[in-house]
Structure 1
């Protein structure tokens, strides 16, 4: 029973971490702005393609990120410390009312579903670091939980994008600001927690040597 509760707690933590760093509600406003001159069918295509690309990137780093870092000689504590710093910085920027992504307008030469919507709006360095940290925490189970929670978030983001005009109208400017700052606070706390975990592992490894 305790193990089940621990898994549920991990799932909630992973989902909230992704939700906070991906921040789908403000990103919906960005999506609405970038696709304001497109028709309904094109918005659907962009929403589908961008969320699938973002999911693919998260799956890649969840499954192979640890092996890639091992090949490069990067330790898990170093990943957690760096990821914690990155996540904290993004959260701090959001608390200060700054954008956590480089929201570039489409220059007409690239598919906006790929850039800037999928990368870096939906998947930036903070999202990748978060995925790798969560997936590495409990081996294969951690990877499964990480991928499944991001898949759930991807579906939520997709529907927010599809109904972007309505979502922006309901939330309003003040609502977007409040949500962004709340997500920033959650991110900052998660970042500090990752940092503490990484430092604790380094100290433990030093003490056992």
Structure 2
């Protein structure tokens, strides 16, 4: 039981940072500038549902995707780790999000761009495919699903109370947390790449 709890906490933390919650929060606030509180909460709910569907599809069908394209797990680890590292570096460099959209665009941002690619971007996609494919034990797979769901719901809750978080931390505080998230992601990227390179070298 203790091993399952430890696995749950470990996976939850990884997924939480993979979803870049503080950058997503900053973008959510910018893209919903001028919206009423009720509409913001409804949008946060739609984004959360969209992210859940996207993440679970990637987590469960990683092996099938690898098989179809003839890609080995370790080669994908190396590629996904490199992409995740670039995304982490980009996150650290960012100083401010793009300008807010026009009123006509407000109704179309739940799935694109908020859910995909802001929260579930290319690097997050690669990491989810790897994590799902490397977890073969059925029980751990279920525990991983619970951790993934918990991470997404935490991000969704942050979006739901986004104005309150902004008042407490301010935009400067959110930018600092986004950069710290980038540092954590860079370490996770290095670990994913190291595992892939080590396994490839051992095979050869």
Q: Provide the C-alpha distance between the structure 2 equivalents of 1:195 and 1:107, rounded to a whole number of angstroms.
A: 42
- Structure 2 residue 191 is matched with structure 1 residue 190: no
Cα pair distance change 1:112/1:57, threshold 3 Å: same
Unaligned runs of 5+ residues in structure 2 are none
Q: Provide the C-alpha distance between the structure 1 equivalents of 2:70 and 2:149, rounded to a whole number of angstroms.
A: 30
Q: Provide the C-alpha distance between the structure 1 equivalents of 2:187 and 2:11, rounded to a whole number of angstroms.
A: 13
Q: Deviations over 1:92-130 (max 9, x none)?
A: 22233367x988836736611111111111111111111
Corresponding residue SS for 2:108: coil
Corresponding residue SS for 1:161: helix
Q: Deviations over 1:59-92 (max 9, x none)?
A: 0111112211211101101111111111111112
| Aligned counterpart, 1:205 | 203
Aligned-residue offset at 1:38: 2.3
Greater length-normalized contact order (CA 8 Å, ≥ 6 residues apart): 2
| Aligned counterpart, 1:105 | 101
Q: Provide the C-alpha distance between the structure 1 equivalents of 2:127 and 2:6, rounded to a whole number of angstroms.
A: 16
Query: How many residue pairs end up in the alignment?
Result: 202
Unaligned runs of 5+ residues in structure 1 are none
TM-score under structure 2 normalisation? 0.87
* Aligned CA-pair RMSD: 2.4
Paired residue for 2:130, among 129, 133, 138? 133
TM-score under structure 1 normalisation? 0.85
Q: Provide the C-alpha distance between the structure 1 equivalents of 2:10 and 2:38, rounded to a whole number of angstroms.
A: 35
